[in-house]
Amino acid sequence: MFAVMWKKIPALAAAVGLIVGSIGFNHTAFAAELPDRAFKVGFVTDCSPVSLADENGDLAGITRLVLDRISGLAGVEFDYVALPSGDVTYDYLVDEGFDLVTSVEYNKENQNARGILMSDPYLSSRKVIVAREGIDFTYNENLKVAISTGSQTLRKVLTSQYPNFQLVDYPSMEACLDALVAKKADILIQNQYVVEHWLYKPAYRSLKVVPIVGLDDMLCFSAVVPLSQMEGGPIWEERELLIGRLNEAISQLTEDEMALYIIEGTMTNPYKMTAGDIFYQYRYAAAALMAALLLIVVLLCLLLKARIRAMEDRADARAKGRFLSTMSHEIRTPLNGLIGLNYLMGQNLGDRQKLSGYLRQSTTTAKYLLSLVNDILDMSKLQEQSMKLDESNVNLHLLSSTAASIVKSGMDEKGIHFEIDIDLPYPEIIGDQARIQQVVMNMLDNARKFTAEGGHVSFAAAQEMDENGQVSTTFQVTDDGCGMSEEFREHIFDTFSQELETVSKGNQGTGLGMAISCRLARLMGGDLSVVSHKGEGSEFTFTFPARPAPTGTAEQEEWVPEEEAVPPRDKEEDVSGKILVAEDNELNAEIILELLNDVGVSADLAVNGREAVQRFAASREGEYRLILMDLLMPEMDGFEATRTIRAMKRRDAAAVRIYACTANSFQEDRDRAIASGMDDFIMKPIDVEALMKKLKE
């Protein structure tokens, strides 16, 4: 029998075999002349660069160039019709009036024995082996060989000569290559020209190619003859004459001429990168961005719904309208930016430099949206009076040093002279370190943002103790920036408050920072105030009372003034060692494992809490140095999994570090995680730098 190459008409080979299996070659004399008409030629559409459909659905590639030349030499015309995808039966070819089929695997043995009307080969190329990484090819191994359904001649050779091979059918060339990448097959044997075309696809670039000595791939044309004419009727005679004409023309094609057709067909039909290919190349960045956007949109929807319900309960229609209007603007502006950037990425798929820039801008915009969500969460809790302050030992020397060092690089970039005057006789207090630092950082960053290049910013801190032993701490940030109008100064601590002129100059913000800071200051029993004049700068003062901590209980840190101020640094530690990642979301798991792999950290994955417990129980003592534990998982959540691990009777059960890795951002979730036995908390979307810092602690 014969088979059309690669994938489109596997049933045709079987049909022709049944029809002509017992018929010898009929040498009836040719008709005097071929009919004056165009012969209908069927072709497969996705075997570039050998045979493909152009943008008009017409035949293109090496085969088209050869047939154009044959048409001139043989004096015949052709009408090219694409064959449909999937199996094409012999009856279909006869019923649709096809005269020829292109790209047929040439098999001289079948032609001589069964009388199949095949032309001489018009294209010969080398067969090559495509293998995935890690496969060392030998003919004696029990390898799984991916084979496209129509490659019957190749199947016969492999079955007879390499009985150890396990042949696995796939419907297309692309499906065969996908099977290699997915490790469902070990090797693929295929035409060199077609393989070289497909290996430009980013997903297949990890595959390797090995030439096969002595195994060529020869393609020919095959005539279609109805069953009723197989005994030598007029159609058989016509097809014999047609094949004879084709053979005469093929014999006149020189090697140099064929080489030019191969070069032209290959160069004019290169592999075209698709949107899916671009996405594959940037899949991790795109996946992280989409996950962040989805999280942000869900949170915003929930927050908007909760906010609307709360305002309806208070019958505050005016506040509701103002909130919705402002939120609509704050959310739509960056979302419109992201939509625009996505459109630009789609318009510039071939320009990697532009794509890289658009991805960076998308990441920055997504981070702004995330900061907006965090601010809304804080504001919502403050307005609902559900925020609870943490009471722990705080060293204000350390807090001041850290805050100053964080903003100093931004000050330096603008050439701002940054002065620091810290006088804290009672640095150890009882308070909420995170919230105190949040207010101080808002003050410092506000000054940096609204101070022009070459300006001045001062950061001062002072303390005094009253007669009852209560310590009053004052942080003051002064700048000589743009200042604010008297009208705006009265609303600086309102939600979404921004002066239009400063926004127009590029000082974008959520408009919630100062409102949140003021409410936090009052929640601590203190106050946040401002003195400012247009064009003369501003002075923010944050004062709050606190109890002094018992001497020596807060973390000790000496104040380092001005340019010497640096954040506290842990001793550099090796981040190598095995980590167990408990994550049920496939996308999140892939991102975390890829991040760890990029820094050379070995990691195992557990898809739920129960599997995490089982993996830890089955591990060698000390094998895992850290567990990244998602909180919400099927079968067993992260809280129960942590308690179960901590209760195990093995020395490393209490010592192994367990970090919560979750999108839940409320203090109740943090408290519950710590209470279950976890050591720390990592927020999603994952901040890579924060994760690496945690791994080094």
Ordered by start, the domain boundaries in the chain are 10-272, 276-383, 392-564, 578-696
Q: How many residues does the chain have?
A: 697
Q: Note whether 392-564 and 578-696 share their fold.
A: no
- Least confident piece of the model among 5-19, 182-196, 297-311: 5-19
pTM of the model: 0.40
What string of H, E and C letters represents the secondary structure of 674-695? HHHCCCEEEECCCCHHHHHHHH
Question: What is the Cα–Cα distance from 378 to 513, expressed in whole angstroms?
Answer: 10
Place of tokens 């002595």: 214
pLDDT at 594: 81
Question: What is the Cα–Cα distance from 670 to 432, expressed in whole angstroms?
Answer: 14
Q: For residue range 214-225, list pLDDT tens digits in order.
A: 567 788 898 888
Place of tokens 């449909």: 84
Residue 32 has a CB neighbour count (10 Å cut-off) of 6
The CATH H-level (homologous superfamily) assignment of domain 10-272 is: Periplasmic binding protein-like II (3.40.190.10)
592: its two tokens: 């975390």
Residue type, 369: L
The answer to whether residues 676 and 643 touch, using CB atoms and an 8 Å cutoff, is yes
Residue 509 has a CB neighbour count (10 Å cut-off) of 21
Class of domain 392-564 as given by CATH:
alpha beta
Chain mean pLDDT for the chain: 77
pLDDT category of residue 17 using cuts at 50, 70 and 90: very low
Higher model confidence: residue 127 or residue 620? 620
Higher model confidence: residue 145 or residue 86? 145
The CATH H-level (homologous superfamily) assignment of domain 578-696 is: Response regulator (3.40.50.2300)
pLDDT at 365: 67
Q: For residue range 147-165, list pLDDT tens digits in order.
A: 876 666 677 777 877 788 8
Q: For residue range 231-281, list pLDDT tens digits in order.
A: 677 888 888 899 999 999 999 999 888 888 888 887 787 777 777 777 676
Residue 175 has a CB neighbour count (10 Å cut-off) of 16
What string of H, E and C letters represents the secondary structure of 419-471? EEEECCCCCEEEECHHHHHHHHHHHHHHHHHCCCCCCEEEEEEEEEECCCCCE
pLDDT at 567: 44
447: its two tokens: 């000054």
Q: For residue range 565-604, list pLDDT tens digits in order.
A: 434 434 344 445 689 999 888 877 887 888 788 777 889 9
pLDDT category of residue 27 using cuts at 50, 70 and 90: very low
